Amino acid sequence: MKNHTKDYLRLIESIACLYTIDQGCIKVLLLKQEEEPYKGYWVLPTTYVSIHETCMEAITRELEEKFHFTDLELEEVSTCSTPDRMLDVPVMAVSYLGFMSDLEALKLTTEVSFETKWFDIHELPKIGYDHQEILQNAMEKLKDKLLDSEVLKKIFPSDFTLPEIQKIYESILGRKFDRRNFRKKFISLGLIEDTNDYDMNGVGRPAKLYRFKEHVSVKKLF
Amino acid sequence: MKNHTKDYLRLIESIACLYTIDQGCIKVLLLKQEEEPYKGYWVLPTTYVSIHETCMEAITRELEEKFHFTDLELEEVSTCSTPDRMLDVPVMAVSYLGFMSDLEALKLTTEVSFETKWFDIHELPKIGYDHQEILQNAMEKLKDKLLDSEVLKKIFPSDFTLPEIQKIYESILGRKFDRRNFRKKFISLGLIEDTNDYDMNGVGRPAKLYRFKEHVSVKKLF
DNA sequence: GCAAAAGTGTTACTAGTACACCCATGC
DNA sequence: GCATGGGTGTACTAGTAACACTTTTGC
């Protein structure tokens, strides 16, 4: 091996799959690629990793620099080391998963100068490089994470309604729940409390607003 | 970045955490390190990844070359990119998880010339480099995987007894099960069938031997 | 007043838990 | 015959699933 070191050296990049929930839809952050290759395609936030930092530190730094986003908790998803994934040079990818509230998501996209957008995961645009595949891997993990009350707390820091949560669960688990049974089960977990406010924005009878209690968490909600 | 490419190039190594179950104990494969650094310590099977292969291909190749082990299904666990983890050179690690039956495990260690041994995960020796941490990460994932009937099938390709399976579950889940309830639940899953044979090796009344049915699987057994 | 969506309670069924005795083997 | 560990059934409890009508709002 030592005789052919150059055959073993690669660049490494960290890639972020950032999710939020807006109007009951799960959305992911993408950036418009302004240069060739894949000009006009959309890609995930990415940065090279220097030998003086970990992959996690690199992507955290990138999100701070590009989006002024701090205190974002990330989790490793998977790697991609297909030799020709970046065509010319060998680059290995390590991908990360993170969640934020819709308010944070909005702030993030309005404060930056380059073109970036939150896409519904069911209505994705043309995706550059192998980011489609990386997104796919992250989406697998996404489902597990959304069943963790700590993650829900990050996505819904302020008030939320039960029908809202129910819709997300039906979307990620791919099945319908009875409204009464869902409500009964969710409330019986003891994670949330009534705010005595109502969501007056929708059509029909206003839904009660709840908030998560502090210091309570459940890993597997369903 | 392009001006300082050498600050971004790393070696990459693939590391295998191979598990088996022997006498109701979960064991992991380690190799004795014969040279400095960490001479006399034990380490996980490791290989460098060339730029012409994926990390998965590299570790598969290594296990074939060193242990003549083919058809082993591996799964990615995590990465470690701490800059000084290998002291002198920047090396990033990608770790993989795999399972085999006790027969395969025995064959593997007897057919090789270098020193290698299966260690009970609760009685590990001195471990070199950061392989202790890598093992720890794999062990987290291990618990999930042992609840997957497809993995159990790999570990117990031939006959097994229910008390045997029960012991493993109690070990990984950290709680005791009632023998009758465990039996009732496991059999009701419809995964296994009676072989009409008995395990005459233990003390006490011989236990019935079962086998997994083909084409049936359950992801979350408990 | 009508359409749209949310809130509510009861019953039946299913799955999980607790528990005690007998059985087959080796020594 | 006794120590060791395995096999079996039943009653109780908790969780899940099925189900229909009333309430509040905007238009």
Looking up tokens 């930092």 gives A53
Residue A7's alpha-carbon distances to B1, B50, B90, B167, B201, in angstroms, are 21, 6, 15, 47, 53
What local confidence, expressed as pLDDT, does residue B174 receive? 87
Indicate if B141 and B51 belong to the same structural domain. yes
The separation between CA A142 and the C-alpha centre of its own chain, rounded to angstroms, equals 7
What value does the mean pLDDT of chain B take? 92
Please give the residue range of the domain that contains residue A43: 5-146
- Cα of A32 to nearest chain B Cα, Å: 21
- Single out the residue in B117, B146, B175 at which a domain terminates: B146
Alpha carbon distance A128, A158 (integer Å) = 35
pLDDT of residue A49: 97
Report H helices in chain B.
55-67, 102-110, 131-145, 149-155, 162-173, 179-188
pTM tops 0.75, yes or no? yes
Q: Estimate in Å the CA B180 to C1' D8 gap, whole number.
A: 8
Q: Which two tokens stand for residue B167?
A: 């012991």
Q: Does A86 lie at the interface with B, CB-CB under 8 angstroms?
A: no
Measured distance CA(B209)–CA(B28) in Å, rounded: 25
Instruction: List, for chain A, all residue ranges whose pLDDT scores fall below the cut of 70.
Output: 1-4
CA to C1' distance (Å), from A206 to C12: 32
In a domain, A220, yes or no: no
CA distance B47 to A4: 15
- Over the range B143-177, which residues count as b (16 or more CB within 10 Å of their CB) and which as e? eebbbbbebbbbbbeeebbbbbbbbbbebbeeeeb
Nearest-CA neighbor of A50 among A62, A34, A68, A41?
A62
Chain C nucleotides reached by a protein CB under 7 Å: 3-10, 16-20, 23-26
User: What is the per-residue pLDDT for A4?
Assistant: 65
Q: How far is A81 from chain B (nearest CA, A)?
A: 5
What pLDDT sits at residue B69?
87
What is the CATH classification number for the domain harbouring A162? 1.10.10.10
Q: Are B168 and B79 part of one and the same domain? A: no
Banded model confidence at residue B20, pLDDT cuts 50, 70, 90:
very high
Size of interface A-B (CB pairs under 8 A): 77
**Which DSSP helix (H) or strand (E) runs through A194?**
strand A192-199
Note whether B191 and B109 are same-domain residues: no
Range 171-190, chain A: CB under 7 Å to any strand D atom: 178-181, 184-185
Residues B84-107 have pLDDT tens digits of 998 888 999 999 999 999 999 999
What is the three-class DSSP state of A78?
Answer: strand
What ranges in A74-115 are assigned the alpha helix state H? 102-110
Last residue within a domain, chosen from B130, B146, B162: B146
Query: pLDDT tens digit string along A130-184?
Result: 999 999 999 999 988 999 999 999 999 889 999 999 999 998 888 999 999 999 9
For residue B78, give both structure tokens.
Answer: 């995590």
B64 and B173 part of one domain: no
Element (H, E) at B195: strand B192-199
C-alpha of B217 from chain center:
20
Token representation of residue A125: 């645009």
Whether residues B121 and B61 share a domain: the answer is yes
> What angle, 0 to 180 degrees and rounded to 10, lies between the N-to-C axes of helices B162-173 and B179-188?
100
In sequence order, what are the residues at sequence separation of 6 or more whose Cβ sits closer than 8 angstroms to the Cβ of residue A42? A30, A31, A32, A33, A117, A119, A124, A125, A126, A127, A128, A131
- pLDDT at B141 (0 to 100): 93
Written as six digits, the tokens of A54 are 């970990």
Question: What pLDDT was estimated at residue A54?
Answer: 97
Q: What is the CA radius of gyration of chain A?
A: 20
pLDDT reading at B6 higher than 70? yes
Query: Does A217 fall in a domain?
Result: no
pLDDT value at position B49?
97
What per-residue confidence (pLDDT) applies to B172?
A: 87
Q: Is the peptide bond before A206 cis (omega within 30 degrees of 0)?
A: no
Q: According to the model, what pLDDT value does residue A182 have?
A: 96
Distance from CA(B204) to C1'(D3), angstroms, rounded: 8
Chain D nucleotides reached by a protein CB under 7 Å: 3-10, 16-20, 23-26
Q: Among A2, A8, A11, A140, pick the best mutation site for testing chain B contact (most B Cβ within 10 A).
A: A8
Instruction: Write the pLDDT tens digit of every residue in B176-186.
Output: 999 999 999 99
How wide is the angle at C-alpha B161 spanned by C-alphas B157 and B166, nearest 5°? 105
- Select from B99, B125, B146 the last residue of a domain: B146
* pLDDT at residue B159 is higher than 80: yes
Q: What amino acid occupies position B162?
A: L
Answer yes or no: is pLDDT of B4 > 60: yes
Q: How many domains does chain A have?
A: 2
- pLDDT of B62 higher than 70: yes
Looking at the fold, whether B12 and B119 belong to one and the same domain comes out as: yes
Interface probe for B, chosen from A4, A12, A133 (most Cβ of B below 10 Å), is A12
